[in-house]
Amino acid sequence: MKPCEMTIAKFHESLTSREFSAIEALKETYRQIDAKNKEIGAYLSLAKNGAERAAEAVDERIARGERVSLMSGVPVGIKDNLLLEGEPCTAGSKILEGYVAAYDATAVAKLKAEGAVMVGKTNMDEFGMGSSTENSAFGKTRNPRDVSKVPGGSSGGSAAAVAANMAIAALGSDTGGSIRQPADFCGVVGLKPTYGAVSRYGLIPLASSLDTVGIEAKTVDDAAILFGAISGKDPHDATSVEKTYGKELYESHPERIRAMTIGLPKEYFGTGISKEIGERMEGVIAAFKGMDIRFKEVSLPHTSSALSVYYIIMPAEASANLARFDGIRYGKGGEGSADIGKRYVAARSRGFGEEAKRRIMLGTYVLSSGYYDAYYAKAQKVRTLIANDFKAAFEEVDALLTPVSPTLPFAFGEKTNDPLAMYLSDIFTITANLAGVPALVVPPGFQLIGKPFHEHDLLGLGREYERKMAS
């Protein structure tokens, strides 16, 4: 087994027993990338110098007989909207082409402190705007399971890197399903933590009240290890929360898991899902029932408004966040004109792709005078109702089980000319962001949604499911 095919625990065991060194594992990872990335397009850039120094430092510690953490030497991919000091960071956009990060995002810094090795920057839809990684300014990412299909988005590069064994795990971001849908399409585990559980410092923002830094991993155990490493309060991010997770994050007690009740939101199992997804969910429910876990039908009555709410709030916040990319303070492309207005127009016209322009215009419209109350303010009120739906449901059940996407992975170009069809790909994932609750995707592609800061419940359920399927 090659190092990048291993779980984190197996990698740690092999590394510390000196079956291979961290630098050997890194070189093997780069061989995998050299062999596969041209076809798959998971990575936009590689951080070879920094990665080699990190791997060598791990090897030196092991040679001195020091104990190293589980994450030491582990090759990790970083979505290209998270800053990695000294490396390019484009967020998949031409407007940031050539920008080099001056510091590390907090999640990246925490992984570095654990000895993890940052392999490179993974491809993504521009500024996180997309569900297929077709909106990257630097080329498409292909699904390693079927290269004729999209890998999902916007963290498609991170999911593809893990699925193709070009990293053991990867960091991504999730604004409306951008970790979970690619995890579903690529057949890996995806964790979107509770809003505030992981610092957003150093994440190029899309929609600040929705953005969450999360994880693509091979197994639920791996996701738990990474989450434990990157979570916690950060003085640089006022929205981050001081929350200590204990052993329950890494250890599952079957008797506790079997005492749980899982809710089935009736709004997620009606018309609109494909036959294949329906059959998949029936199999997942049967497997959990075989573990003596109880189910109960619940209702999230404002689900029907979620897509409309999301596509008002997200573009509104995106238009405000992307206003900084004007070719003068950030970005490039507006040189050569003394007229400041013309410089702005030139930079933003050249730098932003079609989807980014579409969402900027939508967001600017709903925030404009005369429309703010009619759209944005009303959407925020409905968002509160959606959050209250989850609170009410969690008074009856411990977690919710839902599909991730209404369809199987689709072909390139299938939805690019129909933005609404593309947006509908997020129908089952956006509510967790609107409510700020955690969600976990586990192969073969189902979603568990939990109470705020109860990631351990989701990880425990996912871990028991994996064990049952492996037995």
Active site residues: 79, 154, 178
Both tokens assigned to 70? 């589980």
Of the candidates 158, 125, 249, the one whose C-alpha atom is nearest the C-alpha of residue 197 is: 249
> Which residues fall within 8 angstroms of residue 195, CB to CB, at 6 or more apart?
209, 210, 212, 239, 433, 436, 437
Type of residue at 382: V
Residue 215, exposed/middle/buried by CB under 10 A (0-12, 13-18, 19+)?
Answer: buried
Q: What are phi and psi of 240, to 5 degrees?
A: -75, 155
Contact at 8 Å (CB) between 150 and 412? yes
Contact at 8 Å (CB) between 106 and 112? no
Residues in the chain: 471
Q: How far apart are CA 25 and CA 8, in angstroms?
A: 12
Q: How far apart are CA 469 and CA 360, in angstroms?
A: 44
Q: How far apart are CA 195 and CA 38, in angstroms?
A: 35
Contact at 8 Å (CB) between 299 and 266? yes
Tokens 């609109």 locate to 272
Q: How far apart are CA 94 and CA 76, in angstroms?
A: 25
**DSSP per residue, 223-257:** HHHHHHHHBS-BTTBTT-------GGGT---HHHH
